[in-house]
Amino acid sequence: MSNTVVATEIEGKAWGGGNEPLKASYGKMMMWFFIVSDALTFSGFLAAYGFSRFKFIDYWPIADEVFTHVPFLHGQELPMIYVAFMTFILIMSSVTMVLAVDAGHHLNKAKVTLYMFLTIIGGLIFVGSQAWEWATFIKGDFGAVQTKGGNILQFVDTEGHRVALRDFVVAEHGERTQHERKNGIWFVSEGTLPTYTVEEVVNGLEAHDNILVRTQLLDENGEKTVLSRAESLKQLKNNGTHVVEGANLHENEYGSPLFADFFFFITGFHGFHVFSGVVINIIIFFNVILGTYEKRKNYEMVEKVGLYWHFVDLVWVFVFTFFYLV
Amino acid sequence: MAHAHKLEIFRGLVKFKSNTQKIWGVLIFLSIITAIEVVLGIYKPESLMAKFIGMKILNWIFIILTLVKAYYITWDFMHMRDEVKALRRMVVWTAIFLILYLIFILLQEGGYIESIYSSGYIKRDF
């Protein structure tokens, strides 16, 4: 009996609280463990992307050719520039966040407020850029024709530069109209019809001698295979089923639909994290202004949301590499 | 807490006077790395296209630079450098072990399926 009491007393000291073997508060530690689990979620996505890419290693779209747009600079091919800008914005907002944490350690309310504000602005710019990039990707650029086997035929000139459908295809008057609930069967509807039909693309290709078809297949130099003139016409006539403009979850003018699916899924999930990070930052920002942490004499809450915010940045660094660079 | 920051990076090669200064130093370092990545990604030098252990040297460079960036974000922005060893290992090694395991399994399987397609046993099965 007496032994038990002694044991309890020792346990009371070791486990009863107040003893911090990790020298971190409960909240901070739990934030770290949440981050570990979230990191595993994201690596699950990125590894699944790698799986699909390895599966179709010879047919995968080249990211450089897909993400070439920069806002306000129409028609210029600037691969990677805008994504690099987004990366920089996010790293910058990470810096303002860590400066806010540092100011919090010195109990400097004015500085914490300023740096939190800047962090929120950075986050908003990033989410806005993300939305713009999605919109550009969904809208598409050049247009392509999908084959019976689900592959994509794109168009290039003799020098290998991409040619948009609108540059050589003429839309004729067609009888086919979009099937809507109000003009057809009420429980069936279809999406927007493509601007051109395959017959119009065939006519356009026959009328322009300098245009060739490019397939998804990558050659040994990592470039897409361009077919000969005769082969181009044959492929298009025999296998073309419909015109694809832009990308959605079913089809993708840039190549494999899986590429679009993973793009929407991974950057979407990351964008959702940034968005919730911004919301949490705003809450903490108002708490700072109201003086909640001033009264507590402790800005640890800023540190905890800071950890989350840096983690979002950390994930982006990996998404940037595996989606845009490699 | 406020004075507990370790102010050296690159194993003591660079030592900063204050935490704020260290933050700006790390920012400059990360920006330089990002710039290198973007320039390499745009120009894709022909000399880096050779394969090394099954992957282009360029891609190895990208992945290594990414890990370097991840290290400095975690160690200096998230203050992992200032945490005790036990917490650091709990977080870092758990994640690294599980992620490497997952990557190995999925990439191995993806490569296997690709080999089935390309060796012609199955044309397209879905």
Give the chain A residue whose CA is nearest to the CA of B58.
A326
Contact B69 A317 (CB under 8 A): yes
The answer on pLDDT for B126 being more than 70 is no
Domain boundaries, chain A: 25-139+259-325, 144-171+191-245
Environment class of B33 (CB within 10 Å of its CB; exposed 0-12, middle 13-18, buried 19+):
middle
CATH class of A25-139+259-325: mainly alpha
The answer to whether the Cα torsion of A54, A60, A62, A66 is positive or negative is negative
Q: What is the ipTM of this complex?
A: 0.89
Of the candidates A23, A43, A92, the beta carbon closest to that of B84 is on: A23
Residues in chain B: 126
3-class state of residue A68 by DSSP: coil
pLDDT-based confidence at residue A178 (cuts at 50, 70, 90): confident
The answer on pLDDT for A3 being more than 60 is no
CB < 8 Å & 24+ apart, contacts of B46-51: B49/A222
Contact B41 A324 (CB under 8 A): yes
3-class state of residue A226 by DSSP: strand
pLDDT, tens digit, 9 for 90 and up, residues B80-101: 988 899 999 999 999 999 999 9
Q: Does B24 touch chain A (CB under 8 A)?
A: yes
Amino acid at B69: K
The answer on pLDDT for B13 being more than 90 is no
Contact A22 B107 (CB under 8 A): no
**DSSP state string for A301-319:** HHHHHHHHHHHHHHHHHHH
Domain boundaries, chain B: 1-82, 84-126
Q: What is the pLDDT of residue A68?
A: 85
Q: Across all residues in chain A, what is the average pLDDT?
A: 88
Q: Which residues of A touch B59 (CB under 8 A)?
A: 325-326
Of A24-28, A236-240, B116-120, the range with the lowest mean pLDDT is B116-120
Give the residue among A180, A169, A178, A191 at the shortest CA–CA distance from A250: A191
Strands in A144-147's sheet, in edge-to-edge order, are: A224-226, A211-218, A152-157, A144-147, A240-244
Q: What is the pLDDT of residue B4?
A: 66
Of A7-11, A112-116, B95-99, the range with the lowest mean pLDDT is A7-11
Q: Which residues of A touch B70 (CB under 8 A)?
A: 314, 317-318
Contact B87 A24 (CB under 8 A): yes
Closest chain B C-alpha to A166 CA, distance in angstroms: 27
The answer on pLDDT for A27 being more than 80 is yes
Strand A211-218, strand A240-244: pairing: unpaired
pLDDT, tens digit, 9 for 90 and up, residues A244-302: 999 999 889 998 999 999 999 999 999 999 999 999 999 999 999 999 999 999 999 99
Beta strands in A177-264 (DSSP E): 211-218, 224-226, 240-244
* pLDDT, mean of residues A26-30: 90
Q: Which two tokens stand for residue B15?
A: 């030592």
Q: Which residue has the tokens 């800023």?
A: A302
| Pairwise CA distance, residues A58 & A55, whole Å | 9
